[in-house]
Amino acid sequence: MKREVDAFVGDAPQFDDITMLGLRYSGSGTRDGHTARRAAPPTALHN
C-alpha cells in the first residue's frame, strides 16, 4: 500500500500527513463458525 501511495505522489511536496492502519483477520475464532464472545467484567468498563 505504501509503495502505491509513494508512486501516486511522485515528486510532489508533502501537503499533509497520511495515517495507515493494517488489520489481520484470523477467522471466526471457533470451528463451528460462530464467534466466541465473553462479557467484560464490570470493573473493566469503569477504569
Answer for the pair 2, 19: CB distance below 8 angstroms, yes or no: no
| pLDDT given for residue 16 in this prediction | 86
**Could you report the per-residue pLDDT of 5-26, keeping only the tens digit for each?**
889 889 999 888 888 888 888 8
Which pLDDT belongs to residue 15? 86
CA distance 26 to 18: 26
Over 70: is that where the pLDDT of 36 sits? no
- pLDDT for 46 equals 56
Using an 8 Å Cβ cutoff, are 1 and 20 in contact? yes
